[in-house]
Structures are given as C-alpha cells and as structure tokens.
C-alpha cells in the first residue's frame, strides 16, 4: 500500500479553507492508503512561540484534526517532536543541503522580507526538516497545497541526492498528491483571494455561532446587479462559491436566479450562508471542545500514532545510518 504523509504546523486554528481544501481529502484517503498525519511542532518554533502557549497550540490542532474526522483507527496521528528519529535524519540531511539552494526557496525569501529581525537557521533549513518528515517514513504521496510544492520538490532532490551520494536506494521520491477535481479552493470573506490563516478573512471551525454570523454579514459585496444576467464581481462570486460548498443545490439555484433577475438581496444570501456554515461547523466545534478536554483520549490516540510512526522511523533510520557509515561502538547499528 502506498504511504501518505502530511503535516500541519501547530499555530492558530483550522479554518474552512483547511477543512474543505485539505482535511476532507485526508479523511477520504484514510481508507485507501497507509496514512501518517502529524502536528509539525518543531516547524512552528521558527517563530518563537511562548513556552507557556506551546503545548496548548499542539493540543488545539490535534483536537481540531480529530474532531474533523481524522481517525486514529485508520491513520497514525502523532506529534513531530515525539519522534526523535526525525531530528536525527534532519541533521544528516543538512549535510547534503546547500546554503545557496536553501536561500533561493521562495518561502524563505518571503519570511526574510516579512521578519528581517528573525532570520534564524531553522527558517533557512525549514525545507530540510520537512524533507526529513517525509523521508523518515519513505512516503510516496504528500497531499499539500500549491504553496508547499517547492518544498516537496526539494524533498525529492534530497531523496535522489542521498541515494546517489551514499550509493544506496533508501529513499523513494515523494510525489505531491493531487486531488484533481476534488480540490476545493475556498475563498475568503474579504472579496478576493483564498481563505488563509494569516489573511484574517476566515471562518474557523471553532468560531461561535455569533462570530460566524458577524463575519459573514460583514463580507464584501457590491451595490447589486442592475442588468439581468450580469457577470459577477469576484467578491460576490466568492460568496456563491462558499454557498456551493456548504449549502444545498436548491439554495444556490435560488440565489443565482435572484441574482440573474436583479432581485437579489445580499443580506438574505449572507444570512443563509451563515446559517449553512454553522450547520457544518457547529457540530465540529462541539467535538473540538469535548476532545480538547479529554486528556485520556488524546493520550491514547497519540500513543498509538507515535508507536506506529516510530516503528517506521526507526526502520528507516537504521538503513540511513548504515548507508552513511555509522557503526556505533554501543551496538546501535548492529543487525
């Protein structure tokens, strides 16, 4: 069975874009692949979160993952820092990663521009750590968004480079998993572009009903169509896209018709949209809260997931150490 792996950083909360754009596909994949899903807490250290908030950030994303439908009976669900083999592989991969190629990474250049006072080495080698995440499980398929494709390409480069450098065949080349037609681009509420964590234009799975209503009612629109069958401005088209994601076809058709004959009232559309978003997210929100507070359940889930992840990681690292030439005096590399 092919191995699927993906990770998410432990910052902030999951929003509708994460849910419909990524998570729903992870959930479907669980039945057809050997899946590993993890919380990338080491990656989130690049921005220096306060230690007092660190654990709750991990716990939050974990609870949101599980509430959304990731199933510990099907997938290995774990926290990156609980698998020390990842960090060891990261060190070894750093030796065959070059400063020049890392400096050319788009996400690095963006971060340098945004935060010139915090250009740490962890930021520079972020793609090396991500490659270690993927290669430690010899994953074949990595479901990620467009913004991660360059990182994935680098993971492929490192897989090839390691194999040829050490004359071995330890690593397969991981491919981006393409959802094809199933890939939903969820727009934001601010009139343009997609929903994002840092854009402040999102609806979160953990939002209260009143918050969702407020956000949706404030969404950008225009003065309304004056001619029948007018083309839609992007902001309005985005609301229809959202409606298409959370509402029934009848509802979408109803508002399309009223748009086309110029009787549409955006207030009504937004009210319906808010209601239908709530219908989808409020049950998840309730689960998030229940899971977040169920320490025993979280422990059980992570224990199982980590056991599976470490089993796979230890097996890979054994071959890696052999290829590099380690032969520990303490017998770590025996057998």
Catalytic positions? 111, 194, 197
Q: Which stretch binds ligand TRP (CB under 6 A): 1-9, 26-34, 56-64, 277-285?
A: 1-9
Minimum distance from residue 7 beta carbon to ligand TRP (Å): 3
| Contacts of ligand TRP in 30-69 (CB under 6 A) | 40, 43
Question: Among 148, 238, 272, 281, which residue sits at the site for ligand TRP (rule: CB under 6 A)?
Answer: 148
CB of 75 to ligand TRP, least distance (A): 14
Query: Does residue 11 interact with ligand TRP by CB under 6 A?
Result: no
Using CB under 6 A, which of 4, 63, 89, 134 touches ligand TRP? Answer: 134
Cβ-closest residue to ligand TRP? 7
Question: Which is closer to ligand TRP, CB of 44 or CB of 272?
Answer: 44
Shorter beta-carbon distance to ligand TRP: residue 66 or 219 = 66
- Residue 111, phi then psi, degrees to nearest 5: -65, -40
* Residue with tokens 């009504």, as numbered in its chain: 268
Tokens representing 234 are 């992007």
Give the C-alpha separation, 329 to 335, whole Å. Answer: 13
Minimum Å gap between C-beta 8 and ligand TRP is 6
Nearest distance in Å: CB 1, ligand TRP:
18
Q: How far apart are CA 40 and CA 45, in angstroms?
A: 9
Residue with the two structure tokens 């909360």: 13
Nearest to 79 by CA among 297, 251, 309: 309
DSSP 140-199: SEE---GGGHHHHHHHHHHHHHHHHHTT----PPPEEPP-GGG----B-SSSSSB--TTT
Cα gap 32→20, rounded to integer Å: 19
> Which residue do the tokens 């402040």 mark?
200
Q: CB of 305: closest distance to ligand TRP in angstroms?
A: 15
Instruction: Considering the complex, state which of residue 132 and residue 206 has its C-beta at the smaller distance from ligand TRP.
Output: 132
Q: Does 15 contact ligand TRP by CB under 6 A?
A: no
Binder to ligand TRP among 58, 83, 124, 144 (CB under 6 A)? 144
For residue 101, give the H/E element and its range: helix 99-103
- Tell me how far apart the alpha carbons of residues 230 and 8 are, in angstroms, rounded to a whole number: 40
Q: β-strands 34-40, 175-176: how paired?
A: unpaired
**264 binds ligand TRP, rule: CB under 6 A:** no
């Amino acid at each position: 069975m092919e191995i699927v792996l993906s990770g998410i950083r432990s910052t902030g909360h999951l929003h509708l874009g994460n849910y419909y754009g990524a998570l729903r596909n992870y959930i479907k994949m669980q039945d057809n692949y050997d899946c590993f899903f993890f919380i990338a807490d080491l990656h989130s250290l690049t921005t220096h979160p306060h230690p007092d908030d660190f654990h709750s950030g991990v716990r939050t994303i974990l609870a949101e993952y599980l509430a959304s439908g990731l199933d510990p009976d099907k997938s290995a669900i774990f926290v990156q820092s609980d698998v020390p083999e990842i960090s060891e592989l990261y060190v070894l991969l750093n030796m065959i990663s070059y400063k020049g190629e890392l400096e050319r990474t788009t996400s690095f250049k963006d971060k340098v521009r945004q935060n010139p006072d915090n250009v740490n080495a962890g930021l520079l080698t972020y793609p090396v750590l991500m490659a270690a995440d993927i290669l430690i499980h010899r994953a074949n398929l990595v479901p990620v968004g467009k913004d991660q494709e360059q990182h994935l390409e680098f993971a492929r480069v490192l897989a090839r480079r390691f194999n040829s450098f050490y004359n071995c065949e330890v690593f397969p080349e991981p491919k981006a998993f393409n959802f094809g037609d199933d890939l939903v681009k969820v727009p934001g509420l601010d009139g343009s572009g997609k929903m994002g964590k840092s854009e402040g234009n999102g609806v979160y799975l953990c939002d209260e009903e009143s918050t969702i209503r407020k956000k949706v009612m404030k969404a950008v629109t225009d003065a309304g169509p004056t001619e029948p069958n007018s083309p839609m401005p992007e902001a309005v088209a985005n609301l229809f896209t959202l409606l298409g994601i959370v509402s029934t076809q009848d509802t979408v058709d109803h508002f399309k018709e009223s748009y086309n004959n110029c009787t549409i009232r955006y207030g009504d559309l937004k009210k319906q949209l808010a209601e239908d978003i709530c219908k989808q997210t409020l049950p998840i929100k309730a689960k998030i809260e229940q899971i977040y507070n169920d320490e025993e359940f979280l422990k059980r889930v992570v224990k199982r997931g980590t056991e599976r992840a470490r089993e796979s990681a230890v097996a890979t690292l054994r071959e890696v150490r052999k290829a590099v030439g380690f032969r520990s005096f303490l017998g770590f590399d025996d057998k």
